[in-house]
Chain A
Amino acid sequence: MSTIRLKAVANGDVVTVKALIVHPMQIAVEKDEKTGQPIPAHFIEEVVCEHKGQVVMTALWSQAISKNPYFSCKFKGGAKGDLIKLSWTDNTGQSDSDEKPIE
């Protein structure tokens, strides 16, 4: 199952892309209150949104982006039916991507 919920809607000549990603976005913790053990950071570093192979937006994120993060961008030049691709990569090298046509 994809970790990405992606939606792209054309309104006039502007396409709005919205995405929700399932990810812990864990900040680095020196000492966990319960276990006393350190928790390593685990967060998405990069989100890339593409339209017909052209990058519309690259988001570079820190561990301060919220859990199950929300991404959005807007662009001109898209038409209904064009494929939008969204992909993410986190600091541990995990990644995922999804594609949806513009509605």
Chain B
Amino acid sequence: MAISIKRRIFLKGSLAASAVAMAAGTGLLTPRAVLAAWPKDAFAAKAMPDALSALLGVTDAAKSGDIKVTAGDSGEARDGGQVKVHVETAMADVTRIAILAPGNPFPLLGAFDLGDGALGYAETRVKLAKSGDLIAVVKAGGKLYSANTSVRVVSSGCNS
């Protein structure tokens, strides 16, 4: 008798555990996925206004002299597969920095979401298909600003 009671408790326990596992599996217990879901539509957009609209809800952002954006070595990239991109701004309340290359098949290269205490800064390396503009869009205080730089690509990064 005692054995069968224990068995019942065990079964109850494992049922509860599997319910939690199911909830986690369906995303019910992953709040971070809601905060920063990978923006599939923005990355799949083939034109810059579509990418911006999917990512930030606008098709254009005001130009700002307070954003510093550089690409390659003084604007030149021998290897289009490894182009250094640097974005920096002293604006307050920066929450997102996006980098785009209108000359790429999919213009949106990446987006950087900043938490509390983060400085308005992002740096990475990207693949560029051809020479052209590299655009940084900064969301600060709920408003959008942009800056661009041109980069000359010697060898396309399409195959890397």
Residue positions of A touching B, CB distance < 8 A:
14, 27, 45-46, 48, 51, 54-67, 69-78
Which residue of chain A has the shortest Cβ distance to B38 in the bound complex?
Answer: A45
| Residues in chain B near residue A61, CB distance under 8 A | 109-110, 124
CB B40 to nearest CB in A, in angstroms, measures: 9
| Residues in chain B near residue A54, CB distance under 8 A | 115-117
| Chain B 75-98 near chain A by CB (<8 Å), digits 1 or 0 | 000000111100000000000000
Which residue of chain A has the shortest Cβ distance to B84 in the bound complex?
Answer: A70
Which residue of chain A has the shortest Cβ distance to B39 in the bound complex?
Answer: A60
Stretch at the interface among B8-16, B20-28, B100-108, B135-143: B100-108
Kindly state whether residue B63 has any CB partner on chain A within 8 Å. Answer: no
CB A82 to nearest CB in B, in angstroms, measures: 12
| Chain B 45-79 near chain A by CB (<8 Å), digits 1 or 0 | 00000000000000000000000000000000000
Q: How many CB-defined contacts (below 8 Å) exist between A and B? A: 104
CB B1 to nearest CB in A, in angstroms, measures: 46
Nearest 4 Cβ contacts at the A-B interface: A66-B125, A72-B123, A74-B119, A77-B117
Q: Is the CB of B118 within 8 A of A74?
A: yes
Kindly state whether residue B113 has any CB partner on chain A within 8 Å. Answer: yes
Kindly state whether residue B144 has any CB partner on chain A within 8 Å. Answer: no
Please tell me the size bucket of the interface on B: 35 or more
Q: Is the CB of B160 within 8 A of A67?
A: yes
| Residues in chain B near residue A78, CB distance under 8 A | 117
Supply 27 A–B pairs (Cβ within 8 Å), ascending by A.
A46-B36, A54-B116, A56-B118, A57-B113, A58-B36, A58-B112, A58-B113, A58-B115, A59-B110, A59-B111, A60-B38, A60-B112, A60-B113, A62-B43, A64-B127, A66-B83, A67-B82, A67-B160, A70-B84, A71-B124, A72-B122, A72-B124, A73-B121, A74-B118, A75-B117, A76-B119, A77-B117
A48 to B157, CA, bound (A): 26
| Residues in chain A near residue B117, CB distance under 8 A | 51, 54, 56, 75-78
| From A51, A63, A69, A76, contact of B124 by CB (8 A) | A69
| Residues in chain B near residue A65, CB distance under 8 A | 109-110, 124-127
CB A15 to nearest CB in B, in angstroms, measures: 9
Q: Is the CB of B125 within 8 A of A69?
A: yes
CB B21 to nearest CB in A, in angstroms, measures: 16
| Residues in chain B near residue A51, CB distance under 8 A | 117
A57 to B121, CA, bound (A): 10
CB B93 to nearest CB in A, in angstroms, measures: 14
A14 to B157, CA, bound (A): 34
